[in-house]
Amino acid sequence: MNNQNLAKIFTTFTHICEIRGDKNDFFRVRSYQKVVQILENLDKDIAEFLDENKEKFTQNIPGIGKESEKKIIEYINTGKVTELEEMKKTIPDGLLDMLEIKNLGPKKVKKFWTELDVTNIEKLKQAILDGKIEKLSGMGQKSTQKILEGIEILNLYNQRKPLVEIYFDIQEILKEVQNHPLAIKADIAGSFRRHKETVGDIDLLVACKQENREIFIQDYLKMDFLEKIENQGDTKVTAYLKLGLQIDLRLVEEDQFGAAMQYFTGNQTHNINLRTRAKQMGMKINEYGLFSLKDNQVIASQKEEDIYKALDLDFVPPYIRGGTDEISLAEKSKLPKVIEIKDIKGDCHMHSNYSDGKNTIQEMAQKAKELNYEYIVITDHSQSLKIANGLTPERLFEKAKETQKLNSENLGIHIFHGSEVDILKDGSLDYKDQDLENLDFVVASIHSKFDESCEERYLKVIENPYVNVIGHMTTQEYGSRKPLEINYDKIFEKAAKYNVAIEINCSSRRNDIPSDLIPLALKHGCKFFINTDSHSIQQLLNMQIGVNLLKAARVKKEIL
């Protein structure tokens, strides 16, 4: 995580420089921007470079100057950069928050600050509503409206984090805690464990001996994923993660770990239903265990499974503890058999370096083989998407030839020749029929003109016999684009009729279609394809998160 965090830090440096706009800052901006670029493209953690050879640290990574090197070393050793803390004090602190708003850069922030004394998002919103912003030179009604939309989106997503965005980071954090010698057991409860699409905070439970608690908490407070400590007690610490979420640590007894996991996983309605059932059976349940009402004897507490068993229930997996019918299903041994990662035999939406992917077709295939897939489909972008290096029919042909050649080499996995073909503004596809004919698989997606016209375009493209699946249908992107407001009922109905599948895109910026649309698609009898839309080999691992979300939506493997 060092590279990412440091890239963020250097970006903040450039932002402060740009907002201050001193002449002396000009050159720093250029060199910091370069450092950000280098950090983002490194293929291993920068701390490893430092470990390998302290003396030659910067020589090993050309482009990083002495000043930046000092900051990087300070960060790796202490988790912060003093100069940044100092610099932050030179401007009102709300200004940096304003930069989180989409379409708003440091120059405009500086303008609003110096000309209207706007120093935070609240004041900015007021200034827009008062009509002050659009009167500034270089601003207009349209650009002002865009900022207002940006604020709305920020409010929508800033509170909770999408599971797809934080999943692997949280796993890493958990591993670090589990590796602590005084942690007998550690796990994450709450909505994260229930695979909710978005997560509001992280509930971390650790089993730790009474006499070790103080030391454990001291060590925990020093762990480098924490940003700010909010509250600290003997068994509980509330803090904020660097990745922007609250984390609540609770220390529990080892023999009560299962009960605590059950209790803090929820959801609330599920726990209430469970408590009611326990009561009817002459028991009571709380975070310490399941007890007999008669003599207060503990019946189960160490393992979650034992609690459900003692209540005459099949074990209810966390992801279906939604407080609906899961308890009555568990009572009758009728819990749904949902999809598992092992059911996934392939991934049919990914990009190679033919378009905007980072890796070659062969590298993608090798990684997919490690994941035990039987096939993949390489779906590079089509010609109109110039920004993503979309393929002309000629290059599409070249790609087909390379795919054929690779398949003849017996890689142990089959590569299909596909394309993510743009749905154009009039609802037609971005290749002629003669080119589409040679493709094994077509994902049809919208990458432009995100408005109400999309509904008609989808309805038209579903009729196209070459289309296998509609990609990222709502077009939402976390933090920047809201889902399309169109008639999904109508689209799903037609898709089912024409046997066009719906994509579950589990790339970390999309997660599309969102789970709340899944029941509607199921109702119409739609089939799904779960895809990662990977642009690099690492992103292929996102499949796990997508499967988790599908499990929570009770999706069975048969409908894939």
- Binders of Zn ion among 83-122, rule CB under 5 A? none
If the CB atoms of residues 318 and 357 are measured against Zn ion, the closer one turns out to be: 357
Binding-site size for Zn ion (CB under 5 A) equals 3
If the CB atoms of residues 313 and 470 are measured against Zn ion, the closer one turns out to be: 470
CB of 498 to Zn ion, least distance (A): 21
Per-residue x/- track, 486-505, Zn ion (CB under 5 A): --------------------
What CA–CA distance (Å, rounded) separates 97 from 120?
7
What CA–CA distance (Å, rounded) separates 266 from 326?
13
Q: Centre a 10 Å sphere on the Cβ of residue 129 and count the other Cβ atoms it contains.
A: 11
- Which pair of tokens denotes residue 432? 């002629």
Helix (H) or strand (E) holding 396: helix 393-408
Q: Is 542 in the site for Zn ion (CB under 5 A)?
A: no
Q: Is 445 in the site for Zn ion (CB under 5 A)?
A: yes
Rounded to 5°, the CA angle 178-181-187 comes to: 20
Which region, judged by CB under 5 A, interacts with Zn ion, from 367-375, 392-400, 412-420, 513-521? 412-420
CB of 541 to Zn ion, least distance (A): 16
If the CB atoms of residues 311 and 423 are measured against Zn ion, the closer one turns out to be: 423
Q: Crossing angle for the helix pair 2-20 and 25-41, nearest 10 degrees?
A: 160
What CA–CA distance (Å, rounded) separates 523 from 229?
46
Q: Is 304 in the site for Zn ion (CB under 5 A)?
A: no
Q: Is 420 in the site for Zn ion (CB under 5 A)?
A: yes
Per-residue x/- track, 325-364, Zn ion (CB under 5 A): ----------------------------------------
If the CB atoms of residues 440 and 533 are measured against Zn ion, the closer one turns out to be: 533
Which region, judged by CB under 5 A, interacts with Zn ion, from 182-190, 215-223, 370-378, 441-449? 441-449
Which region, judged by CB under 5 A, interacts with Zn ion, from 197-205, 318-326, 368-376, 443-451? 443-451
What single string gives the DSSP state of each residue in 340-368? -GGG--EE--B--TTTT-SS-HHHHHHHH
What CA–CA distance (Å, rounded) separates 50 from 48?
5
What single string gives the DSSP state of each residue in 82-119? HHHHHHHTTS-THHHHHTTSTT--HHHHHHHHHHH---
Rounded to 5°, the CA angle 480-485-490 comes to: 140
Nearest Cα to 543, choosing from 382, 367, 379?
A: 367
Which region, judged by CB under 5 A, interacts with Zn ion, from 29-37, 331-339, 398-406, 445-453? 445-453
If the CB atoms of residues 155 and 448 are measured against Zn ion, the closer one turns out to be: 448
If the CB atoms of residues 289 and 418 are measured against Zn ion, the closer one turns out to be: 418
CB of 559 to Zn ion, least distance (A): 22
If the CB atoms of residues 170 and 388 are measured against Zn ion, the closer one turns out to be: 388
Nearest Cα to 443, choosing from 378, 497, 518?
A: 378
Count Cβ neighbours within 10 Å for each residue of 497-510 and write b for 16 or more, e otherwise.
eeebbbbbbbbbbb
The three-state secondary structure class of 407 is helix
If the CB atoms of residues 208 and 385 are measured against Zn ion, the closer one turns out to be: 385
Per-residue x/- track, 252-291, Zn ion (CB under 5 A): ----------------------------------------
Q: Is 203 in the site for Zn ion (CB under 5 A)?
A: no
Q: Which residues contact 76 (CB under 8 A, 6 or more apart)?
A: 2, 46, 47, 50
If the CB atoms of residues 321 and 349 are measured against Zn ion, the closer one turns out to be: 349
Q: Is 533 in the site for Zn ion (CB under 5 A)?
A: yes
Helix (H) or strand (E) holding 67: helix 66-78
If the CB atoms of residues 2 and 383 are measured against Zn ion, the closer one turns out to be: 383
CB of 153 to Zn ion, least distance (A): 20
Which residues are near Zn ion by CB under 5 A?
420, 445, 533
